[in-house]
Each structure stands twice: as C-alpha cells, then as structure tokens.
Amino acid sequence: MSESGRFFVRHRIEESRIIARLRALHAGAGLCLALALAGCHPSQTAQLAQESAPHDAGVLNVADAAIAGNDPQMALQVSQSVLASDPHNIQALYHEAASYYALNRCEDAIAAYRLALKIDPASSPAETGIGRCLLQRDAATAALAFTKAVQDDPKNAAAQNDLGIALDLQGNYAGATAPYKQALLLAPGVTATEVNLGLSLALAGNGQEALQYLGPLATSTEATPKIREDYAVALLATGRRDEAKQVLSVDLTPDQARALLDGFSDILAKSGH
C-alpha cells in the first residue's frame, strides 16, 4: 500500500481506553481491567496531512488541523467539500470517516469507509477504521475486519494491535499476544501496545514474561495508575500478592487495594491461572 494510503492506520495509540469484558465484581464494587484502544486521536491527525493527494493537500490540511484542534465538525465540512466535487477521492473519504469517528458517529464512519473499499477493495486503512467502530459492540466481527486489514497490509501496526484487543475482548488472551508482538516489531516502543501485551501475557498465565514489559513501565516517572494496576496483575499472576498490594497502594487506600486484588484474583482464576 502506498504511503498516501496510510491516513487512518498511522494514528498512534495514546490515552483512549475502553472497558473490556475483563470485568469482575467483588464485594459489590465494580472492578475492571481496561485495554488501550487504538483510536482516532485528534492530536495525531495533523502529522498525516502531507500524505493527502497533491491537488487536495491544502484543503485536506485544513481538515487535519481542525481535527487536531478538536473541531471535527469543521474537518467534516472540509472533507465533504472535496467530496462534493470529487466523490471518489479516497483521501477525502478517509478524512470524512475520521471526522465522523471523532464525532462518535460510527455508523456514518463505517459508511464512508465502505465507500473507500469500493474504490480500493484492499484498503487496509478502511478495514482498520471499520474494525475500530465495531470493537466496542462486536469484538468478533471487529477481529475479522482487523485480520483482513493486516492481510492487505502486513505492515499495519495499528491493525495488529487492534486485532490483539479484539481477541482479548473475547477472552482469547493467549491468542492476543501474537498480534501485539507483531505490532511492536513494526512500531517499537508504543507504550499502549506494550501495556496491552503485558496484561494479556499475565492473563494467559505468562506472568514472568508480562513483568518484562510492565515492570519498566510501572516504575517509570511516566507510569499511570492503569499501568500500575496492570503491573499488579502480572505480579499477582506470579504469586507475588504482597508486592502487588504495595504497587496498588501508590494510588489506592488499603481497602481499595485489597478489593482490587481480590477482583484480579477472580479474573485470573476464571482464565485458568
């Protein structure tokens, strides 16, 4: 796939998270593990402007800047102005779909991506975008979209990560580790992918390997409470409950940490570890 075809794929993963099906209830308190979701983050759109078709670059640059400035409605208007005169402009369709996604209008985003697929049936960006829209309501169908995306573009690191998330959401933690590892080979150092991989390894019973990923992240100055929680899961998976409790105590009261550990233990027990 050409560089210009990577509009949606190269959105990197940052802080967007979804509540996964990795959910446990303990003592009446809702506990959850969350997986990082590769999404269309506004601040990442501007860097892709130069990938648009040359004769529309200036106009679509405005759409990029609008999304980066948290104004997806403006981005939508700009992309649709291009499509009004050139309905088969695939770059404008990618921009339109990304705008709809940012507006939480996933059905419209899917429709735009499907139009792009009519132009390019092997459009990995469109397949990735469709998968992301499906992910929160139908992980199995989303996994099929991501599988097609990586088949059409084996270098699509974002789709590999998203495929891992879709498998995780179905409880296939062991199966999720392979696409996460492939994503890291293609795009080394993406923190969210490392966190996803570490958590899946822990839930698949590979706690020691999980610690190799989550340990450095959890002890860094940029560690977040969620990363520390995932690190605690890995420690718990290796039988190190006291250390896990100590990690959680950074952000939680003793009672909260104890309840969370009990919830994590339930999840690990249900996954067979």
Q: What is the pLDDT of residue 266?
A: 86
Q: Where is average pLDDT lowest: 11-15, 154-158, 264-268? A: 11-15
Token code pair at residue 203: 């839930």
Using CA atoms, how far residue 51 sits from 4, 6, 43, 132, in Å, is: 5, 8, 16, 21
Angle at 126 between CA 110 and CA 194, to 5 degrees: 105
Say if residue 212's pLDDT is above 50: yes
Q: What is the pLDDT of residue 29?
A: 27
- The pTM of the full predicted model, rounded to 2 decimals, is 0.79
Q: What is the pLDDT of residue 273?
A: 65
Average pLDDT over residues 212-236: 94
**Residues sharing a CB contact under 8 Å with residue 15, sequence separation 6 or more, in sequence order:** 41
β-pair partners for 35: 18
Say if residue 267's pLDDT is above 90: no
34 or 259, which is more confident: 259
Say if residue 30's pLDDT is above 70: no
Query: How sure is the predictor about 56, in pLDDT bands with cuts at 50, 70 and 90?
Result: low
Instruction: For residue 150, give the H/E element and its range.
Output: helix 139-152
Token code pair at residue 126: 């469109």
**Dist. CA 70–CA 272, nearest whole Å:** 43
Which 8-state DSSP code applies to residue 19?
E
Say if residue 210's pLDDT is above 60: yes
Query: How sure is the predictor about 58, in pLDDT bands with cuts at 50, 70 and 90?
Result: confident
Which domains can be identified in the chain, with CATH numbers? 1-15+38-159 (1.25.40.10), 172-273 (1.25.40)
